[in-house]
Amino acid sequence: MNEDVEGDRPQRAAKRPDEGFQGRRTTTLSDVARLAGVSIATASKALNGRAQVRAETRTKVLAAAEQLSFSPNGLARSLLSGRSGTVGLVTHDLEGRFSIPTLMGAEDAFGSGKVSVLLCDARGDSIREQHHIQALLGRRVDGLIIVGARPDPRPSLGNMPVPVVYAYAPSDDPQDCSLVTDNVGGGRMGVEHLVACGRTRIAIISGDASYGAAKDRVIGAQQALDEAGLELVGGQALFGAWTEDWGRGAMRGLLAKHPDVDAVLCGSDQIARGCLDALRESGREVPQDVAVMGHDNWEVLASNARPPLTSIDMNLEELGRRAAARLFEAMEGNPAHGIETIPCRLALRSSTAS
């Protein structure tokens, strides 16, 4: 049991109380300095590319660092600089469809640089949210992104010691910085596309009326209809649930009462899938007889539909990237206020190709 390995300074071996893993101490800057035969300060300057160091010395230090596979301790750096280089991302919809692209966008916008994302799932529970936020603040995150589960306003966190950006679900305080998808614009875009395809007998099968998203999309669609001088088939949008079942049932009812319908704008891709099924079973051809549009552009549903489904894409990744950008700006001292709306995008497939 004599310590004849790693011959250098065995007397430190017993100093650390609680060596969880492998008992191998991580190498520090002073290890590098010692091996290179210089002071810690010089080693630091050499490694950080400071100018005041002789080329030969720098080479020596770099070699030593390489040999010891030195990696500077970010915690120590952060402690010194006052910024941790991390942001907290608290999501309320990790299992769901909406937070993931947002998260990807944010991770994307940060990832390349020197910022890492600490992820927490609060699952719609404000107690848990508070808990996570305290933990993140304790870790001295430089900022927070709060991702909601649905686009309805949520209570503000109030004054926080770091900048906060709300994504998908806006804060109810207009002083906060929020980013949301443009549901009104999405609905409008849907109708405009159908009109451009030459449709005039348009119906809307929306989702759960308790969601602001459902109503907003209908509002936008109605605006576009008005501008085109068209009446909604059936007189009003149909509200129900975000399911295929609802889409099927509603479509059947619609066909029974208004067999001359030539386009259906759906509140989600799931609803649209139900519509497509009902139409096929009634013998209608899509898009020849009836055009169908979804919303969300959920790839697995839209691409695999028969025919593949034209859908409104909410640009969630862009929303995430933008949230990250806004947070970044706020961290630099230029906070934005109010609600910023990210425009939708048309994902064109065959279900409307006129």
Partner DNA sequence: TTGTACGCGTTATCAA
Partner DNA sequence: TTGATAACGCGTACAA
- By CB under 8 A, name the binding residues for a second copy: 16, 18-22, 24, 26, 71-76, 78-79, 82-86, 89, 94-95, 100-101, 103-104, 107-108, 111, 114, 116-121, 132, 134-140, 142, 161-163, 243-245, 270, 273-274, 277, 298, 300-301, 304, 306, 330-333, 335
How far apart, in whole angstroms, are the C-alpha atoms of residue 28 and residue 19?
A: 16
Determine if 139 is a binding residue for DNA (CB under 7 A).
Answer: no
Between 42 and 268, name the residue whose CB sits nearer to DNA.
42
Q: How far is the CB of 50 from DNA (least distance, A)?
A: 7
57 binds, among a second copy, DNA, none (CB under 5 to 8 A by kind): DNA
**Which 180-219 positions form the footprint of DNA (CB under 7 A)?**
none
Q: Candidates 76-84, 176-184, 243-251, 263-271: pick the segment binding DNA (CB under 7 A).
A: 76-84
The 3-class secondary structure across 34-63, one letter per residue, is: HHHCCCHHHHHHHHCCCCCCCHHHHHHHHH
Determine which residue in the list 3, 13, 39, 135 makes contact with DNA, applying CB under 7 A. 39
Between 227 and 285, name the residue whose CB sits nearer to a second copy.
285
- The backbone torsions φ and ψ at residue 278, rounded to the nearest 5 degrees and listed phi first, read -60, -40
292: its two tokens:
């169908």
- The backbone torsions φ and ψ at residue 275, rounded to the nearest 5 degrees and listed phi first, read -55, -50
Q: Candidates 54-62, 161-169, 187-195, 279-287: pick the segment binding DNA (CB under 7 A).
A: 54-62
How far apart, in whole angstroms, are the C-alpha atoms of residue 61 and residue 229?
A: 76
Q: How far is the CB of 188 from a second copy (least distance, A)?
A: 27
50 binds, among a second copy, DNA, none (CB under 5 to 8 A by kind): DNA
Half-sphere exposure of 272 (CA within 13 A, CB side): 35
331 binds, among a second copy, DNA, none (CB under 5 to 8 A by kind): a second copy
Query: 222: which residues sit within 8 A by CB, 6+ positions away?
Result: 187, 232, 237
Closest CA to 315 of 292, 342, 279: 342
Q: How far is the CB of 260 from a second copy (least distance, A)?
A: 26
How far apart, in whole angstroms, are the C-alpha atoms of residue 241 and residue 239?
A: 7
- Does residue 348 contact residue 310 with C-beta atoms inside 8 Å? yes
Q: How far is the CB of 40 from DNA (least distance, A)?
A: 5
Q: How far is the CB of 36 from DNA (least distance, A)?
A: 9
Determine if 52 is a binding residue for DNA (CB under 7 A).
Answer: yes
Determine if 42 is a binding residue for DNA (CB under 7 A).
Answer: yes
Between 103 and 254, name the residue whose CB sits nearer to a second copy.
103
- Does residue 330 contact residue 299 with C-beta atoms inside 8 Å? no
In this structure, are strands 310-313 and 345-347 parallel, antiparallel, or unpaired?
antiparallel
45 binds, among DNA, a second copy, none (CB under 5 to 8 A by kind): DNA
Q: Which long-range contacts (CB under 8 A, 24 or more apart) does 1-4 make?
A: none
- Does residue 109 contact residue 70 with C-beta atoms inside 8 Å? no
Determine if 26 is a binding residue for DNA (CB under 7 A).
Answer: yes
95 binds, among DNA, a second copy, none (CB under 5 to 8 A by kind): a second copy
H or E element that contains 116: strand 116-121
Determine if 72 is a binding residue for DNA (CB under 7 A).
Answer: yes
47: its two tokens:
């490694």
Determine if 76 is a binding residue for DNA (CB under 7 A).
Answer: yes
Cβ-in-10-Å burial (0-12, 13-18, 19+) of 320 comes to buried
Q: How far is the CB of 228 from a second copy (least distance, A)?
A: 33
User: What is residue 296's DSSP assignment?
Assistant: S
The contact set with DNA (CB under 7 A) reads 15, 25-26, 28-30, 37-42, 44-45, 47-48, 50-54, 56-57, 70-73, 76-77, 79-82
